[in-house]
Structure 1
Amino acid sequence: MSRPGPKIPPLSVTDAQRAVLEGWVRRRSTAQALALRSRIVLESAEGHSIAEVSRRLGIASETVRTWRRRFLDRGLEGMHDEPRPGVPRKITDADVERVIVKTLEETPKNATHWSTRSMAAATGMSQSAISRIWRAFALAPHRSQTFKLSTDPLFIDKVRDVVGLYLDPPEKALVLCVDEKSQIQALDRSQPVLPMMPGVPERRSHDYVRAGTTTLFAAFEVATGKVIGSLHRRHRAAEFKKFLAKVDKEVPADLHVHLILDNYATHKTPVVKKWLLAHPRFHLHFTPTSSSWLNLVERWFAELTQKKLKRGVHRSVQALERDIRAWLADWNEHPRPFVWTKTADEILDRVAAYCHRISDSGH
């Protein structure tokens, strides 16, 4: 005949304790472990045995026994985890705040920005601790970006005009982003390029031999991504006029042509103005000064630079121009438009925020 086990002390909860426990069970933000412990106590307070609570909640009997005992000994405080073992925390919140404030509001005496080494010396902390704090708060003193705000008095009107063409183009018309990539250099390395090998990147000499320059006039079609291009050795109003004539020839005669372009003097000479008067289907839309980011053809120029020109080797201007024409032809076989998503209001709000930051910077 089996002997009965030890008698389990009864568990009871006050109304206040029950309200807290039930709140932990219902609240969505409660950790799952804390919610389960609360259910164990509530089930036990209903008079259910350890085995019955274990069966109803689908957990081990030892788990029920542990949290039942913790509640009897320490009440609601016993429902939380015990402090973890290990070395006590050495870096306090005040230390973290001191590093962040120093990073954001001060610079070292002998440098323009902090490094982990200089900040560690200034605060008496380790470099690894400084690095962890900077990573946690997304601080990178070694990095810097550039910006420039346009001072064009018609900035708002021009932004709304250009963005309006992107987001709501006119019917029976073609929207083209136009610009010139001038002074493209034909560069030949002073020594042969060493090809990439496993574990070793491609290597090239830092110096080069110049073989001349060329200029690419390009019109990027916003709707399809196709590009009309023309190469010229010089960059004058005469070349721009020739390029406009090429655009006029390639665009169907029944379509109006809206050109988005910058404020370069070549685009506004009397020769160009006279040509435009003779071709009334052409409409010019100028971006604000210092706002090349508003012209989508600049994004296409970046593709050309990164994928063809930056690491290209050309011993003559003719070779450079052949490569550009081949790349342009390949692009037009599989054109990819760049989709503009931001509205004019979103852009203007962002610029206003920058202006506010500048006015509050103290510089």
Structure 2
Amino acid sequence: MTAFQDPAYAPGPIFHYRACRLSNLRPHRSSYAIPAPEEVMKAQPITLSETARLELEHWMETASPDEQVRARCILLAAAGARNNAISEIVNLSQQAVGKWRKRYADMGLEGIKEPRRGRLPKFDVDAIEQVVSLRFARECASGPGESWSIRKLAATSGMSFRTVQKIVKAAAATER
């Protein structure tokens, strides 16, 4: 026998077991608004141009795994598959499939590309290329026969010693 069924446990006249049930606190199902059939969201229709189809098929081979899944979602949607079928095939939720479908319909290929994460680079590509070209140049500006040291490169370019060191190390690794 539980405490609610024991007549000796009656805490007072205000407490009643039936009043504490959640079903008594929620409105009845009939009072919820049921949307009309035309108000129910429909999946975004997807039509692919030939160039977009080729690009997505190329992504299936070369892109990151996340982008491959997105490309497959869009290709299946263009073939006429429903979101629930696509979600089972690519192992995503129906909401995720709908999100990528909508983003592709709104923004095209840019909508499903991998977003850039992290801090933006402090130095642009031109500055990095200048440091690399100076480092591997035969002669230093200060005199003939001298080579560019990391410290001279840092002073000339306005970058820190450590930044120039990282750039030179990465460039030397790619040249090998």
Fold match (TM-score > 0.5): yes
Unaligned segments of structure 1, at least 5 residues: 140-363
Matched, 1:21 2:53: no
Structure 1 pair 101–20 and aligned structure 2 pair: CA distance change class (3 A): closer
Q: Distance in 2 between matches of 1:119 and 1:24?
A: 39
Which residue pairs with 1:99 in the alignment?
Answer: 131
Structure 1 pair 19–45 and aligned structure 2 pair: CA distance change class (3 A): same
User: For 1:1-363, what aligned pairs fall within 5 Å after superposition?
Assistant: 3=34, 6-16=40-50, 17-25=52-60, 28-84=61-117, 86=119, 88-105=120-137, 106-107=139-140, 109=142, 112-138=146-172
Structure 1 pair 100–19 and aligned structure 2 pair: CA distance change class (3 A): closer
RCO (CA 8 Å, sep 6+): is it higher in 1 or 2? 1
TM-score normalised according to structure 2 size: 0.63
The runs of at least 4 consecutive aligned structure 1 residues that moved more than 6 Å come to none
Identity across the alignment (%) = 26
Higher helix fraction (1 or 2): 2
Q: Distance in 1 between matches of 2:110 and 2:44?
A: 19
For residue 134 of structure 2, what is the amino acid of its counterpart? K
Task: Give RMSD over aligned pairs.
Answer: 2.8
Unaligned segments of structure 2, at least 5 residues: 1-28
List per-residue Cα deviations over 1:192-248 (Å, max 9, x = no partner). Answer: xxxxxxxxxxxxxxxxxxxxxxxxxxxxxxxxxxxxxxxxxxxxxxxxxxxxxxxxx
- Higher Cα radius of gyration: 1
Q: Distance in 1 between matches of 2:116 and 2:130?
A: 26
Higher strand fraction (1 or 2): 1
Tell me by how many angstroms 1:82 deviates.
Answer: 2.7
Q: Distance in 2 between matches of 1:72 and 1:14?
A: 10
List per-residue Cα deviations over 1:287-320 (Å, max 9, x = no partner). Answer: xxxxxxxxxxxxxxxxxxxxxxxxxxxxxxxxxx
Partner SS, residue 138 of structure 1: helix
Tell me by how many angstroms 1:76 deviates.
Answer: 2.0
Structure 1 pair 68–120 and aligned structure 2 pair: CA distance change class (3 A): same
Tell me by how many angstroms 1:14 deviates.
Answer: 3.0
Structure 1 pair 23–99 and aligned structure 2 pair: CA distance change class (3 A): closer
